Copies of this chain bind each other. A is one copy, B any other.
Amino acid sequence: MDERDLLGEVMEVLGKDCCLDDCAVIPWGEGFLVATTDMLHRSTDFPEAMSDWQIGWMATAVTLSDIASMAAQPAFLLLAVGLDRPDRLREIMRGARDCAARYGTSLVGGDLDHHNELTLVSTGVGVVDREGIVRRSGSHPGDLIAVTGVPGRAQAALEGVRRHERCLFEPRPRVEEGRALGKAGVSAMIDTSDGIALSLYDLLAANPCGYEIHEGLVPLPEEVEDHGKALDMALFGGGDYQLLFTCPAERMPIQNVSYTVIGEAIPSHEVLIDGRPLGKRGYQHVWPG
């Protein structure tokens, strides 16, 4: 049973709306609030080599990435910390504070708890106007598919490429880029935290159309000599917090955002790479049973 199966159960209880986007969307005055919460913990999410400051940074960054993918402006953040050792708190809080400040927002509160395994839950609320919001749904056949930055670097770091370690330990959520993409009128968006392939399948679940990408267009992580391996990292690796989006061709190029077109939305409801089905795999929590 994996995370996406369990989401089905959540949808049965809460209704489908709760799980359609990277953030919950709450109509608010003339626009929307978006809200998201992310649980991270030691064994799954924080490699041994990470500093406490980096752990605080990362917990905040993943939440900001969800807000970015809605083209929203972060408004405030909360951080619940389940601490294994009290002496870790200060640096974790500093990392979280610094990440929030870097992206123009702040940590306004939180909770402290004692936990055998270090566990962080960051929650973020953002604002976006009615015209500016971008959701997972909204792609049309013919829209171009693009991704910000270079996917696969975090996975490369996980597999030992030291040069990319900061991509893994100090992810840079694409907050400014998300806002700019919203203003440019992109049609659908998601972040790539579980890899490009799973993100494409998440887009597929929210849209009647499908997607086809082209191997030769996908940017690859530097310093990975084996081409197949580099492509695998780019498509199926976790830990990147780039934005994957679709956009009508006539709205490109988009100013002030570094991105690469990797394919296009297609009429048939499937995910392809150069005409063949793209593997539905990537980073997923799996539960026994």
Binding site for B on A (CB under 8 A): 1, 3, 5-7, 9-10, 12-14, 17-19, 23-26, 29, 33, 35-41, 43-44, 75-76, 78-83, 85-87, 89-90, 93-94, 97, 106-117, 119, 121, 123, 125, 285-287, 289
Contacts and interface: CB of A to CB of B under 8 A. Distances in A.
Nearest to A100: B14
26 contacts: A3-B112, A9-B89, A10-B93, A10-B112, A12-B90, A14-B93, A14-B107, A24-B108, A24-B109, A29-B29, A35-B76, A35-B108, A35-B125, A36-B78, A36-B109, A36-B111, A37-B111, A38-B80, A40-B113, A43-B116, A44-B114, A111-B121, A116-B117, A117-B117, A121-B121, A125-B125
Number of copies of chain A assembled together: 2
A41 B112 CA distance: 12
A113 B1 CA distance: 12
A39 B122 CA distance: 11
B26 A75 contact: yes
A33 B78 CA distance: 13
Nearest to A113: B39
A12 to B, nearest CB: 8
